[in-house]
């Protein structure tokens, strides 16, 4: 079954009977039937084409998977992240929850979408192509719930994709993270894999009053893989959603964040970095909606692009009329390591309130030759000098993440990426 044919999608081709045929799935099928995959001229997708995916005969993942390869990838995640020392972990293989590989964390109630296939009623299944596709195809995923005033510490959420003999597969997990009033949780989501596959996860994130959720994403998919990921987050009064997306893998990836600050003094961070080489294409897009007074949003995204890689940043801060005393900041910076690398940046502000402090900007450049000369003049080899400048460029953005343990995990991942690239 072709999961994402660009035109001619029929609801009957995807919707089963019983629990699979829901209003949400039918709405998603209708929008995909009518619009298909985004084409040139769709503003939100003007820099990222899904044409390469349109004719791929993606199939349902097989029931049997190479256990040795899964074990290798899981061990790699724990080594690179530094979180293999007994931290709780939830593991999915080809989009399916794997209880045998999971080590359920203390303080977190864990469920699965397969056992309770309910979609959040505050998310429009027709709102964007990633959500529509996931709503139509989702079969499993995990739900994480932290009760009132519980500090659940740090945990791993690992998604492993394995395709055999390059036979293309697709999986579409539906995840939910819910923090009750005053709860705290730090999650490192790591996505890795081998072979030809499409990973299309959607997260439903609900942060209640005074709750703090840290959500760091380490996207290290296989070199033939593609990822279309969407996060929908809503943050209540005095709550914090502190997120960071580190893009290292996949030949084609897009992470789209829709974050709404719905209570007074709510705060959201949507920071990230993309480190791309070869012909990789990475897209970070966001819409941050200020829907209550006195809220704060911060977004800084840095890109390091080499070879023929292409990075995309589209960020929008939307301030509703009620959202007086909004404080919103957005910045995108790109470091191009070759003449053939490309960055497309489109920061936006849409403001309907009059008492706000909002700013945005974008910069693009190469390594500063004066800084390089300074280091070389002190006896530092060229490769080491370049490495020092690139790592310094990335250091500030990674250290925007407030959770020190997850910050260290991302530092280790950046170091591993750099060492592998220069091996």
pLDDT in tens, the chain (423 residues): 344 443 334 444 454 434 467 899 989 988 888 877 887 678 899 999 988 888 888 999 998 899 999 999 999 999 988 887 778 999 999 999 999 999 999 999 999 999 999 999 999 999 999 999 999 999 999 999 999 999 999 999 999 999 988 799 999 999 999 999 999 999 999 999 999 999 999 999 999 999 999 999 999 999 999 999 999 999 999 999 999 999 999 999 999 999 999 999 999 999 999 999 999 999 999 999 999 999 999 999 999 999 999 999 999 999 999 999 999 999 999 999 999 999 999 999 999 999 999 999 999 999 999 999 999 999 999 988 988 999 899 989 999 999 999 999 999 898 888 877 776
**Could you tell me the two tokens for 214?**
């840290």
Half-sphere exposure of 44 (CA within 13 A, CB side): 16
Give the Cα separation of 112 and 166 in Å (integer).
Answer: 28
Residue 162's nearest CA partner among 89, 110, 221, 239 is: 221
Give the Cα separation of 188 and 245 in Å (integer).
Answer: 10
**Could you tell me the two tokens for 365?**
């450049």
Total number of residues shown for the chain: 423
Query: Where along the chain do its domains lie?
Result: 62-262, 267-366, 369-423
- Long-range contact list for 408-415, CB < 8 A, 24+ apart? 408/82, 409/80, 409/81, 409/82, 409/83, 409/188, 409/216, 409/218, 410/216, 410/218, 410/244, 410/246, 412/80, 412/81, 412/82, 413/80, 413/81, 413/218, 413/220, 413/246, 413/248, 414/246, 414/273, 414/275
45 φ/ψ sector (left φ>0, alpha ψ -120 to 50, else beta):
alpha
Give the Cα separation of 408 and 399 in Å (integer).
Answer: 9
Residue 246's nearest CA partner among 223, 228, 271 is: 271
Q: Dihedral sign, CA of 243, 333, 417, 72? A: positive
């Amino acid at each position: 079954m072709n999961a994402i044919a660009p035109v001619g999608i029929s609801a009957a081709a995807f919707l089963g009977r019983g629990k699979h045929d829901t209003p949400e799935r039918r709405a998603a099928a209708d929008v995909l039937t009518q619009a298909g995959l985004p084409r040139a001229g769709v503003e939100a997708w003007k820099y990222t084409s899904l044409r390469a995916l349109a004719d791929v005969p993606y199939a349902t993942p097989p029931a049997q998977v190479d256990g040795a390869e899964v074990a290798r990838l899981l061990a790699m995640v724990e080594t690179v992240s530094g979180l293999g020392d007994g931290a709780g972990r939830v593991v999915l293989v080809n989009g399916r929850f794997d209880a045998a590989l999971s080590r359920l964390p203390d303080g977190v109630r864990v469920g699965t979408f397969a056992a309770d296939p309910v979609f959040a009623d505050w998310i429009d299944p027709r709102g964007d192509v990633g959500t529509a596709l996931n709503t139509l195809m989702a079969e499993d995923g995990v739900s994480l719930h932290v009760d009132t005033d519980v500090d659940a510490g740090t945990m791993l959420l690992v998604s492993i994709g394995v395709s055999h003999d390059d036979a293309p597969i697709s999986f579409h997990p539906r995840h939910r993270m819910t923090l009750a009033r005053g709860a705290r949780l730090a999650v490192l989501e790591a996505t890795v894999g081998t072979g030809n596959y499409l990973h299309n996860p959607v997260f439903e994130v609900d942060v209640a009053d005074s709750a703090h959720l840290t959500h760091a994403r380490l996207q290290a998919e296989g070199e033939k893989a593609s990822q279309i990921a969407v996060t929908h987050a809503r943050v209540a009064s005095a709550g914090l959603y502190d997120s960071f997306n580190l893009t290292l893998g996949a030949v084609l990836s897009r992470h789209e964040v829709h974050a709404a600050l719905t209570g007074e003094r709510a705060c959201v961070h949507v920071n990230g970095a993309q480190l791309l080489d070869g012909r990789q294409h990475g897209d970070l897009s966001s819409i941050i909606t200020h829907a209550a007074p006195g809220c704060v949003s911060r977004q800084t995204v840095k890109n390091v692009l080499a070879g023929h890689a292409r990075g995309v940043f589209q960020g929008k801060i939307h301030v509703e009329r009620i959202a007086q005393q909004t404080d919103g900041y957005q910045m995108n910076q790109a470091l191009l390591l070759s003449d053939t690398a490309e960055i497309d940046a489109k920061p936006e502000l849409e403001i309907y309130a009059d008492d706000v402090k909002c700013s945005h900007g974008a910069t693009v450049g190469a390594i500063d030759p004066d800084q390089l000369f300074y280091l070389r003049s002190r006896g530092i080899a060229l490769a080491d000098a370049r490495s020092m400048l690139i790592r310094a460029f990335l250091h500030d953005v990674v250290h925007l993440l407030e959770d020190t343990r997850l910050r260290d995990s991302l530092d280790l991942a950046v170091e591993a990426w750099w060492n592998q690239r220069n091996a």
